[in-house]
Amino acid sequence: MRITKQPMGSQTLLQLSDIRKSFGAVRALKGVSFELNAGEVHALLGENGAGKSTLIKTITGAHHPDGGSLRVAGIEISNLTPSRARELGIACIYQQPALFPDLTVSENIGLRLKKSGLISRVRWTAQREQTVALLHQIGAEISPDAVVRTLSMPEQQLVEIACALGSGARIVVMDEPTASLTQKEQQLLFKVVCDLRKKGVGVIYISHRLEEIFALADRVTVLRDGESVGTYAVDSLTESAMIKLMVGREVSSIYPPSEGALGETVLQLRGLGCAASGISGVNLEVRAGEIVGMAGLVGAGRTELARILFGITPADSGEMILNGEKLQIRSPREAIARGIAYVPEDRRRHGVILEMPIAQNMTMASHPRFFPNGWLRFAAELQLAENFIRDLGIKAFSPDAPGGSLSGGNQQKVSVARWLATQPKLLILDEPTQGVDVGAKSEIHKIIRGLAREGLAVLMISSDLPEVLGMSDRVAVMRNGKLVDILEKQNADAHSVMSAALGTNRNEVPS
Amino acid sequence: MPSSRSISLKLLLARHEVVLVLVILVEVVLFQLLGRNFLVGRNVSNVFRHSVEIGLLAVAMTPVILTGGIDLSVGSMMGLCAVLFGMMVNRLGMDPWFASLAVVGIGALGGGFNAVLITRLNLPPLIVTLGTFSLFRGLAEALTRGAESYSGFPPSFLALGNSDFAGIPAQVWIFIGVAVGIWLLVHRTTLGRSFRAIGFAPEGARYAGIPVARNTSIAYMIAGAVAGIAAVILVARLGEARANAGIGYELLAITAVVLGGVSIFGGSGTLAGTLLGWVALAILNNGLTRISDYRILEQPVASVARELSGLLTGLLLLTALSLGALTKTLAVRRARKQSLSDTSPNLVKS
Amino acid sequence: MNKYFRELTVAIALALLLLSLAIFAPHFFQAQPIISRLTSQMPALVAAVGIALVIISRQIDISIGAQFSMCAIVAGVTASAGFPLGMAILAALVTGALMGAVNGVLVAYLGLPSIVVTLATMVTWQEALRLWQQGRLLALPNGIQWFGLSQQVGQMVVISVALTLVVGAAWAMKNLSGGRQIYATGTDAEAARLAGIDPKRTTFRVFVLMGLLTGLAAVLNLVQSPQVQPNCGDGLDLKTIAAVVVGGVAISGGRGTMWGVLLGMLLLANVNPALTHFHQPPYWEKAIQGLVILLAAVADGLRSRKTKF
């Protein structure tokens, strides 16, 4: 049952109308409207990339919307900044607490809550008392004199919540707050949220845990693809209905078809794990010519698994067998030499080096193979670059142009070229088309399918569900550091994948 | 001509080196007009003869700075190497050429020591080399008990620092050899290219399979080894090995490198730039000593040449840095307009 | 008490040093020499406070020695020209602040790396000073040395001023939001910006403040002898940076206390005198200093590695 009228007597704290936000060619929010009332917990639901975090950043003033309006307590606000948002009573508790690690809890709270002049006295005892009171209010057993660096992540989150309480926030945003909390801490948090609600505070609650939404929230707004699919009373929905709302779009059939003929097994993982990364017991097989999609929520461990395979964080348990040979990959260099290539997710830090020329970027991972005795060969490098530019359809001024002169999609193609130049047997792609415009996206899909056809084994990590469903021959789903399900193409649909990713599917395939 | 040189960066780079060449030309013209016996064979020879040590340090410092690091200890390493050299030849009666090799090896080891702390323990290069700046010099002073010096080296060895070979000072030949070697390393080898990658994107380089720790260590070891060479040359030139050899040289070397357009943040810069920066400084240093007809602060310029050249060097560096910062902001703005998308991977998620 | 762990280790090291002196060289502990020695160490201490602030804000300033010398000469010249002591002091402070402002503008507003900027300003001030003074010793008029008071009283004044400053700085860093801003900027400039602090302005102010403190330090040094040496600031950069690093100020910024600076300075400054009293030759000083810096850096490196992941 859709809600169009707000309950009588309840005040609207926040009103977003038709918010639009684009980053370059990518439209993150396409006209989202959202309302928050006093004394309610309003959940925000949506899969990765739906626009939740962009919406939140618009509310906290970290982003400027390109269009639409924002009203706080009925007053339209333009040019919202983080400090302004704080003054208006908007507080946000992120997954990564933004505290200063070398100061104590009470110093951090004091810093946040005090307006900063230059000479203004920081009242020590008052600050400490306030901290004690706030911590007591949320029932956190943390000493106000503890140095933040020594606190665990959940404890730091609780400090953030105390900050929000102390700043007298009327609108509190919580972004996946229970992600790393224990059962007991979760209960604490729920109590805090309920207390906030009783006080008339409006809470925007983002979580993937449907059971939490059912337990805490009054209303839920579902985002999909940058748009709002509707606002509903939580009581009126079933779990199934929620999932359907999250993913219910048509799976586009405009994906390059798979050819069918598979080669031998290239990669075999048996019980692979790395304690430090939180990954355990992964069993997986990838054959030549096959594209295995890796689905799961953010933090499920897909990138961590890729980093294990690539040697960034080597495995400490289980086996990895590449082309029939049992291996221990301890460094990226070793991985590359063995024929494993990894196109990384964090493009800014690990991808194309923007200041260096395209051609040099392309040969960057192939030095031992392409320049055997250490001497650079410019003509050969240029030739390689020209070939890739032609074959992959890269739109560049020249092979000498710096990587930074290309669009995101073309940079990604250069990244792919770099890894193809290493002549890999296993190609791991981590969010290959994220932030890439629609046109380049489909080109990259064709390239990936073409590579599989040539005999490459492809592992494709993606949070774009249609992409996963459209491209993969099989779909592996990860949750909480474990590989929980592997679905054949015919069994893989939005619902089954999402259920496995969320953990609502009781029939997990034991590996 | 290497073809993998970028187009839009080319303009910036070319501009920097062109500016330096212009500066050098201006210096030459000025000193020839204002000074005496400037462009005379003997003096030109001296310009280079007296600044070879700094040139060596500047050239060796370039790979280190390209990786985004810095080495403040090279001057002190010179002192330590000089002292050890003196001890080996005077006390142990070693053959000077053999001792030279040994000392270069010791310099490499010192660089290796820096490298271990920087790459294995991830300590900031600034503080590590500040510590070794003090430690190496301290060891040199301790070994000579703060006072001793060594001399009495065989004439065949002293010739290295004071005679010419085919019209060019002997040590300049060595300098040319080292400079060419390091130029090849930086601009023609995968190692050199990896220095840039490490400087621009240390984690990205790692993800591309580059052995970051190993290559960075090589850069620091080269710096140490070349400091050893510089020490030997200095001792040969002065005929004396003392603990204060090379005091202040590291700063002059860094000045030459930064003046030459190598970014202190790492990644960009050329060896040619470093050489030009060094030449500009060497000429400045020397040229002022040739001006005796003019006065400044009631003194003939020549007698305050050192201070004046130091002052002008400082001002030159400040100007170069400020101009560099301004052009950088302009270039960044231009590139931002060109680039079509600016998506950070983490922004568009959920 | 994890927070003050570093400072405690330095305190223990200092205590051990004093203990060994008490056992093996008790003649170290004679009142007058100690007071004289302490007095001569005070200027470096004040300068160290200034540079600690810069380093905590995640910058560095190697021009401190040149600034010190320049301030000293400016004060000396002012006094020699007949101006009263107060004017000379003011001249020193203003000179320091101006030099700090130059560094501040280049680093904070032009975004240039502080190592290179301060290298350039160091060379500039140093050579300008040499050009101006030609290495001449500058004789001070009567009434300047020891503030025109007796040596005993003068020493007390110097020591009190310096220690008051250290205590005051410690208090200010803890209690004034200006101090918070410095820590915040040094830890994470971006987070600081989101918390409403202007990192550029904070950085600029820190450099100016350091210049002021350097000027003060130069004055405290000036009054200890009848003449000013134009190279009185030589080696100050290494001395002060070493002392603050040893005292627990992290080169990566955001961490460090004034107590640590005091302890670090006392420890390092007394290495040489201790060596003398142990009948050990003084030329081990630099080597020991370098070793201590490296040990402190390693300790900091290991510590932050543990808590990073």
Q: Do A349 and B268 touch (CB under 8 A)?
A: no
Chain B contact probe: residue of C55, C58, C99, C124 with most B CBs at under 10 A: C124
pLDDT one-digit tens code per residue, A427-447: 999 988 877 766 777 888 989
Q: Do A120 and C197 touch (CB under 8 A)?
A: no
Taking the C-alpha atoms of residue A108 and residue A150, their distance in angstroms, rounded to an integer, is: 14
Contact C287, C78 (CB under 8 A): no
Pairwise pLDDT comparison (A400 vs B4), residue with the higher score: A400
pLDDT band at C192 (very low <50, low <70, confident <90, very high): confident
The encoded tokens of residue A58 equal 């618009």
The whole-number pLDDT of residue B342 equals 41
Q: Does C281 touch chain B (CB under 8 A)?
A: yes
The domain locations on chain B are: 27-323
The encoded tokens of residue A62 equal 């970290």
In the 8-state DSSP scheme, what is residue B297?
Answer: T
Taking the C-alpha atoms of residue A465 and residue A249, their distance in angstroms, rounded to an integer, is: 10
Contact B134, C290 (CB under 8 A): yes
User: Is a pLDDT exceeding 70 seen at residue B349?
Assistant: no
The whole-number pLDDT of residue B345 equals 33
Taking the C-alpha atoms of residue A346 and residue A338, their distance in angstroms, rounded to an integer, is: 23
Domains along chain A with CATH numbers: 9-89+208-249 (3.40.50.300), 265-502 (3.40.50.300)
The whole-number pLDDT of residue C30 equals 80
- Residue pointed to by tokens 């054959």: A287
* Segment among B182-186, B303-307, C94-98 with least mean pLDDT: B303-307
pLDDT one-digit tens code per residue, C20-55: 888 887 877 888 888 888 899 999 999 999 999 999
**Collapsing DSSP states into helix, strand and coil, what is residue A169?**
coil
pLDDT band at C72 (very low <50, low <70, confident <90, very high): very high
* Residue A268 backbone dihedrals phi, psi, to 5 degrees: -135, 125
Residue-wise DSSP of B168-206: EEHHHHHHHHHHHHHHHHHHHBHHHHHHHHHHH-HHHHH
Q: Do C183 and A104 touch (CB under 8 A)?
A: no
* ipTM (interface pTM): 0.85
Q: Does C168 touch chain A (CB under 8 A)?
A: no
Helix locations, chain B, DSSP H: 7-34, 41-66, 74-86, 96-115, 125-143, 155-162, 170-188, 190-200, 202-207, 212-238, 249-259, 271-288, 305-338
* Segment among A29-43, B254-268, C3-17 with least mean pLDDT: C3-17
Q: Does B348 touch chain C (CB under 8 A)?
A: no
**Collapsing DSSP states into helix, strand and coil, what is residue C252?**
coil
For the segment B94-118, the average pLDDT, to the nearest whole number, is 95
For residue C291, give the chain B residue with the closest CA: B135
* Residue A407 backbone dihedrals phi, psi, to 5 degrees: -75, 165
Taking the C-alpha atoms of residue B123 and residue C26, their distance in angstroms, rounded to an integer, is: 39
Low-confidence ranges of chain A (pLDDT < 70): 1-10, 24-25, 48-49, 95-97, 114-123, 154, 179-182, 247-254, 260, 437-438, 505-511
Contact map slice: A 196-215 vs B, CB within 8 A: 206
For the segment C77-100, the average pLDDT, to the nearest whole number, is 92
Give B30: exposed, middle or buried? Use CB within 10 Å, 0-12, 13-18, 19+: middle
Domains along chain C with CATH numbers: 2-14+29-300 (1.10.3470)
The whole-number pLDDT of residue A56 equals 87
Q: Does A364 touch chain B (CB under 8 A)?
A: yes
Closest listed residue to residue B350, CA positions, set A502, A52, A430, A204:
A52
Q: Which amino acid is at A212?
A: E
Q: Does A82 touch chain C (CB under 8 A)?
A: yes
The whole-number pLDDT of residue A269 equals 93
pLDDT one-digit tens code per residue, B33-66: 887 777 777 788 888 888 899 999 999 999 999 9
Taking the C-alpha atoms of residue B119 and residue B127, their distance in angstroms, rounded to an integer, is: 13
Q: How many CB pairs under 8 A join A and C?
A: 62
Q: Do C184 and A102 touch (CB under 8 A)?
A: no
| Residues listed for chain C | 309
Contact B210, A312 (CB under 8 A): no
Through-space distance between the first and last CA atoms of chain A, rounded to whole angstroms:
40
Taking the C-alpha atoms of residue B46 and residue B286, their distance in angstroms, rounded to an integer, is: 8
CA atoms within 13 A on the CB side of A427: 31
CA distance A164 to chain C (A): 13
Q: Does B5 touch chain A (CB under 8 A)?
A: yes
Q: Does B191 touch chain A (CB under 8 A)?
A: yes
pLDDT band at B11 (very low <50, low <70, confident <90, very high): low
Q: Which amino acid is at A250?
A: E
CATH number of this structure's domain B27-323: 1.10.3470
Chain C contact probe: residue of B130, B132, B313 with most C CBs at under 10 A: B130
CA distance C200 to chain A (A): 14
Tell me which chains share at least 3 CB pairs under 8 Å with chain C.
Answer: A, B
- In this complex, the residue of A102, A116, A150 whose CB is nearest that of residue C181 is A116
Taking the C-alpha atoms of residue B93 and residue B82, their distance in angstroms, rounded to an integer, is: 15
Q: Do C191 and A102 touch (CB under 8 A)?
A: no
The encoded tokens of residue A226 equal 């940058």
Q: ∠ at Cα B266 (C110, B131), nearest 5°?
A: 95
For the segment C110-132, the average pLDDT, to the nearest whole number, is 90
Give the H/E segment covering residue C215.
Answer: helix C199-222
For the segment B88-94, the average pLDDT, to the nearest whole number, is 90
pLDDT band at C89 (very low <50, low <70, confident <90, very high): very high
What does pTM read for this prediction?
0.82
The whole-number pLDDT of residue C9 equals 82
Contact A284, A465 (CB under 8 A): no
Q: Do B135 and C116 touch (CB under 8 A)?
A: no
The whole-number pLDDT of residue C1 equals 42
CA distance C8 to chain B (A): 22
Q: Does C180 touch chain A (CB under 8 A)?
A: yes
Q: ∠ at Cα B46 (B42, B47), nearest 5°?
A: 120
